[in-house]
Structure 1
């Protein structure tokens, strides 16, 4: 009887298919680890591509670059992430245990101490739990330690240097942006849904706070000698500051903040200044559209450098410094949560700090833009706000 042994043939077929499947998995893995290259976008002064560096971030909020060109990213709902130069994402351990992940609260702003290379000190803003379901914006300093391997990091030496007074109920308008200069730490705060308190300096509600880098109060803070005011206050009358950056002149401080329905503002910050909310605004009440306060101007209250009606919900703010985008140098870049825009704002420095032009880019293609940062390579990096948030990178291409 003549027989055929099919087992060796079947084994070869199964082995070949398994190898093909393994190769497919390997290829998919490479695609997930490799930045996705998008289409070329042409703006008025630069063409650029948008690459996706990583995804899977849980409502990323703030981005800072470390001296080795790696990054720290805070996640409003998820923790603190380290992104290596090779784009490996790991969690940083040691976060404070009183974070309030509710509404707009959570882990918010990040900043590096100017002496980070030697001190390894960072600053973190977060919504801190209080009693009776109350919360408020707090800031800690911490040392960023290397963990047991090169890709693990831990926070130590945690020191609380600021607590918003008072903590209040509700989950709105925490502010939370941080900016560290050579001498000071600026802490942007919101009105926490208590708009009238933004004109009362016996609380931190609706203010910009300025501290020394160790958390002490600067001797030249504007309300230091006023017994009715909180001595940490630098300016007041703010609704919800969501972006803050230093001008390329090294002295001018820019912020932007959310208005109500309309009236988002871009402001130049000056010590002791009242920015008007809610007495003056270019916005109106939600739903009813009724007016707020006394109108758009009042004596003793600062006017914005620019405002947006309808609201764009700005978030993140950076002035272009590097040479990668030479035609954008000195321009402000800000994100838009509402329309998913990157807004480029041209500033006239010769006749003062005036807005001379705007350009709206991206047009919602990548979702809500939460933060904008210029990397040490001069490229522009963006965070998108979602439960599967992304880190994006903008690279210039030749104009055609």
Structure 2
């Protein structure tokens, strides 16, 4: 064969692998030594190394330099250098003798199911159409899709619905470290509960502890008292079916005397009112207010106590107590049948046998 007089045909540009420095044929898509792909970023590294005086220079090799030990890649059919570990055209691993390692059929691109035959046109698991690309080398098989739900740690917590008569109903397990409760689109969904917001509350399992957080619901998330609770300004309290709001009023300052020195008349009270409990209607308006003063305890009940609600059949005769402790007020259940609850503010830690109310669902926490 007569050599061409054209200098451009007399030499050919070899691709230099930016990872291992191996010279490869210009048409190679994978390095035949290390198997790395000649991606755009890899080629940019190689080009910059050659242009900037790096350690991997671009190399020109005289045409006609025949490779030794040629073979045929059984994955793509190209001629390969059998002395190299990888095919330069498809990246398949070359076994001794010029054959390549057994190729794996690519999994379904939609569901990830294994495909047993390259002739399949549709996935036998989800019926998704399969690309007719043929087998791919084993080390280039598609990566399995990560699923957060599938790998979520098992949480040893469940919620059991408790009926009005105290009987236990359905039990629901937490789906992961975070579980939402709501009417629509939540992890635990109760579509028939009209008192639930679409996404109502969040249960959080972290470091072996369970807590609940209200997500700005319309009706709140309620935690039933397991012991005395010191009231803070803005607390919402549920006693029977009565929704009460606690407010701090502070100590009133002295009134300046009238200009003509006339003394004003007023109701006789035991001491200064520094806090109040307001009875709220469904629209948020106030129906009645009970004022609290230091040194004076008060009781709430259906027919006994300082504040009575004879029309509330869900309230016990003597249901709750509000005790004055210095300048603070402490709420306690007085052995009632239905308990006393406080609306969750921020993250509230729950324990075994804690009871919460979301919408009209009373739930019992079951955990180790």
User: Which protein shows a greater Rg?
Assistant: 2
Give the TM-score normalised by the residue count of structure 2: 0.23
**Structure of greater relative contact order (alpha carbons < 8 Å, 6+ residues apart):** 1
More strand by share: 1
